[in-house]
Amino acid sequence: MVKKQIIMESALELFADNGIEATSIQQITEKCGISKGAFYLAFSSKAELVIGIIDNFLSEIVADVERSVSSENPTNELLYKFYYTNFSAFEKRSDFARILMKEQSTSFSAELLEKFIEYDQHMNSIVFSILDRQFGEIDGSMYPDLVYLIKGFLKIYAELLLLSKYPIDIEVLCHALVERTKIIAEHATIQFISKEFLYFPKSTDLAPTKEELMALLKRTREEMADSIVLQSIDLLIDDLNSPQLSPAVIQGLLKNLRSHSHSKWTAYLFELYLSK
C-alpha cells in the first residue's frame, strides 16, 4: 500500500495551488504517481484525506509544543515557548487553514471530534505543567481559569494571524501575550472554572498502554516512507517486546521520529509511556 505520508504531502501542495474543492483525486494520484485504487486503499474519500491532514497537523502541534516546554528549557521562558511554537505552527500551515476556513468543505466527523478532544486534553496537561513550573507561587485553584485564558489568547490571535492582511511579528506578539498572562495570573482572585468542572489530566494519565503504543508504532510504520524513521520504529518495537536498549539509544531513536512531521505524535506518546 502507498504510504499515506506521500499522499498527504502531495495533496497539501495541490490544495495550496488550486483549493480543496478544485483538486480532484485524479490530480492527487497523478502527482503521487499512483493509481486511484492505491489512493482508495489509503483513504476512502477526499474528505477523509482532508481529515487525515487536519489530524496530522494537530498531532504535530501538540508534539512540538510539548518538546518546546520540556525540562531542558529555562523555567521563565516556558510560556513564551508555548505561545511561539503554537503561532509558528499556525503560520506554517496558514495557507491550508485559510483554504479550509474559506471552503468549509470538510464536515467534522465523530472521529475527528474525538481527536480534537484528545489533543485538547494533551494541551490542557501541557499548560497546567507550565503554570506549575513558571507560576508556582500563585493559587493553584486558579490554574483551570488560566488554562482557558491562555487557550483563549491562542484562538483569538490565531484568527488575527490567519485573517490579517498585514505581516505580524510573532516574537512581539508572544512577548505581549506573556505580559498579559502574567498580569492576570498574579492579580486574579475569583475562581470560575474548577478541575471538577472540566477534565484537566496529568501527562501520565494520557500515556498509552504498551499494547496501544505497539499498535501506534505499527500503524505509523505502515504510513511512513522515510527509511531512517522505519528502522527506528523497528528497533523501538523490538525493544518493547524485549527491552535491551539503553535510555540514550531510545532517545536517539525518538529523535529520528521527531524529525519527521508524520511521526512526531508517535514519539510524543512514546515519551509519555516512558514517563509512567
4-21: per-residue pLDDT in tens?
888 998 998 898 888 888
Q: Domain spanning 1-44: which CATH class is it, in words?
A: mainly alpha
In this predicted structure, what is the pLDDT of residue 198? 64
At residue 43, φ and ψ (nearest 5 deg) are: -135, 140
> What ranges do the domains of the chain cover?
1-44, 46-206, 207-276
CB-hemisphere CA count at 13 Å for 275?
A: 15
Matching CATH number, 46-206, of 1.10.357.10, 3.40.50.2000, 3.40.470.10, 1.10.230.10? 1.10.357.10
pTM value is 0.85
The number of angstroms, rounded, from the C-alpha of 70 to the middle of its chain's C-alpha atoms is: 15
Instruction: Show the cell assigned to 36.
Output: 486511484
224 pLDDT band, cuts 50/70/90, is: confident
Q: Length of the chain, please? A: 276
Q: How far apart are CA 138 and CA 131, in angstroms?
A: 9
- How far is the first Cα of the chain from the last one, in angstroms, to the nearest whole number? 35
Instruction: Show the cell assigned to 61.
Output: 502541534
Q: What is the pLDDT of residues 137-155, one digit of tens each?
A: 888 889 999 999 999 999 9
1 pLDDT band, cuts 50/70/90, is: very low
In this predicted structure, what is the pLDDT of residue 112? 74
H-only helix segments in the chain: 4-18, 25-32, 36-42, 46-68, 78-92, 94-103, 110-134, 143-163, 170-187, 210-223, 227-241, 247-258, 264-275
In this predicted structure, what is the pLDDT of residue 140? 85
